[in-house]
Amino acid sequence: MKNMKTTAALFLLLFVVSSSSGAQTKDSTYSSGYLSVNAKDTCLIALIDSTITKTLPFDSLPLPAGNHHMIVMREREWNGILVDTTITLMAESNTVINVPEKHQYTILSSPPEAAVTIGKTKTGETPFQFTASQAMSVPVTISAMGYEPLTLEAPLQSMNIIHLRGRGENAPNIILPNKYIRDDGTAVYTSLAVAVVAGTISVLAKRRADALSDTYGAAGSLSSRASAHKYDVAAGVSLFVTEVSFGALTYYLLLQ
């Protein structure tokens, strides 16, 4: 009888221990923490564990407790990563991350490949883009051989398009104001449409000119020769418009 009581007590003790450990395992497995990310820039997104995408800022996102990998980047830029870190979330607690404000600057120039000097340090050539943790408080100088240098005083605009004048020219250096920079895609689509239409006209006109030239060669028709010349001119003009449109398209794509 005593042995039976001892055995029953052992079974009861094992059941309690196993139930307790099972509950702990279940709690630790299914416990969640919360993540909040604050940012002043509303064009940022967070990629968490390569599967969850959230627009910043966000508050109290439930995630399993433990380690998580988070990348914060600019929404429209594939290489605009601002934060790349590992976060540890505690169960039933809210972890708050503050993304530091970043200032992004772009400098384009005519002529291109002009030297960009920030303060007294040459940092690159145009087209030049860089990101700073605070607003620029030092002058930025743009210079190129054979052209008058131009210094951009603080505060620096986010987008700077500059035309440098050649040495000896009377025309001043030009800084294109941001109001002339379009944020929509109208210019891009217009340039693309003009390029496609003009290119099509150029091809058709050239084919027609070649056919009339063959007719003139076979029959000696002077009217065919005159018409072939007109179509050749039309093909040349259309080709020129196509090239200009593709140049404009490239320019607007670089701006965006």
Using the 8-state DSSP alphabet, how is residue 166 labeled? B
Q: Which of 153, 123, 149, 114 is nearest to 135 (CA)?
A: 153
Check whether 69 has a pLDDT greater than 90: yes
CB proximity list for 93: less than 8 A, separation 6 or greater: 33, 34
- Residue 175 phi, psi (nearest 5): -115, 115
Give the confidence band of 202 by pLDDT, cuts at 50, 70, 90: confident
Check whether 256 has a pLDDT greater than 60: no
The SS3 call for residue 226 is: helix
The correct answer on CATH 2.60.40 for the domain covering 103-180 is yes
C-alpha 3 chain-centroid distance: 77
What's the pLDDT score for residue 2?
A: 47
The correct answer on CATH 3.40.190.10 for the domain covering 31-100 is no
Strands 32-38 and 94-98: parallel
Q: How far is CA 149 from CA 110, 127, 152, in A?
A: 12, 16, 10
- Residue 157 phi, psi (nearest 5): -70, 155
Average predicted confidence (pLDDT) for the chain: 78
What's the pLDDT score for residue 247?
A: 82
83-91 own/partner pairs: CB under 8 Å, 24+ apart = 87/35, 89/32, 89/33, 89/34, 89/35, 89/63, 89/64, 89/65, 90/33, 90/65, 91/28, 91/31, 91/32, 91/33, 91/65
User: Of 73-82, 99-108, 241-250, where does the model show the most confidence?
Assistant: 241-250
Q: Please report, for the chain, the start and end positions of each structural domain, with discontinuous segments joined by +.
A: 31-100, 103-180, 186-255
Instruction: Check: CB of residue 162 under 8 Å from CB of residue 131.
Output: no
Per CATH, 31-100 and 103-180 having the same topology is answered yes
Look at 20 and 38; give whichever has higher pLDDT: 38
What element of type H or E holds 8?
helix 2-30
What's the pLDDT score for residue 27?
A: 45
> Which range, of 81-85, 162-166, 202-206, averages the lowest pLDDT?
81-85
Give the confidence band of 28 by pLDDT, cuts at 50, 70, 90: very low
pLDDT over 90 percentage in the chain? 13
Give the confidence band of 44 by pLDDT, cuts at 50, 70, 90: confident
User: What mean pLDDT comes out for the span 211-235?
Assistant: 82
Q: How far is CA 40 from CA 35, 77, 99, in A?
A: 17, 17, 8
| Rounded (5°) CA angle 189-195-197 | 100
Record the tokens describing residue 142, joined without a space: 């743009």
